[in-house]
Amino acid sequence: MRIYFIGVHGVGKTTTAKYLVSRLNGYSYHEMDCIEEVAGLSPTARQLLFFTTYVRQYLRTYRLGNVVVDSHPLLVIPYTLWWTKDKELADEFLRIVLRLPKCDYMIYLKPYDINILIRRIQERYRYNVIEEGRLDYINFIIEKTEDYLRRYGGLISNEVIYVNADMEVNERGGYILNKIDLRR
């Protein structure tokens, strides 16, 4: 079974994915990231690197079978819209995402309390922590991610599970484990 996560930065995708793997026998955890590689690139070059990396990692992990992956290529699209303002590029990325094989589960970690999210972002100590904590940026990514999930979730995943990201990791993980069918 293939389980992928989606949600704004700092919402707990990696933490929750690792938690799930610790509770699922026979599953491997995979990180989808290249944040350190994109420093210094132009917004368009940065988003191209993110997208191509995420697609490559998606296809690599997809063929492995029982995986839990902390992100999905769809998530690059809202960030591309924010950073490049290039709707044509975002639409091209979407066309590619819609041609990827469907995953079994897409777990959307939905933040309700922005203060919790901002605290998590500040605790990460990344080079871009100030940029990542901007409220307009966060709200844009949340809004666009939810819009894409509403419109395309059923085309990229057999099931989308919405999870309250404000819960502690063990509560999020328990909720997800109760929702997924391990016989798939």
Pure H helices in the chain: 13-23, 43-62, 76-84, 87-97, 114-122, 129-132, 135-156, 169-179
The residues with which 157 forms a beta bridge, in sequence order, are 103
pLDDT of the residue at 40: 82
pLDDT of the residue at 133: 64
Q: How far is CA 168 from CA 12, 79, 116, 139, in A?
A: 9, 26, 11, 21
Sheet holding 2-6, edge to edge: 28-30, 67-69, 2-6, 103-110, 157-164
Q: In this structure, which topology does domain 2-179 adopt according to CATH?
A: Rossmann fold (3.40.50)
The whole-number mean pLDDT for each consecutive block of 10 residues of the chain, a chain of 184 residues, reads: 94 96 96 78 92 96 94 97 97 98 98 82 60 80 97 98 96 97 75
pLDDT of the residue at 131: 65
pLDDT of the residue at 116: 80
- pTM score of the predicted model: 0.91
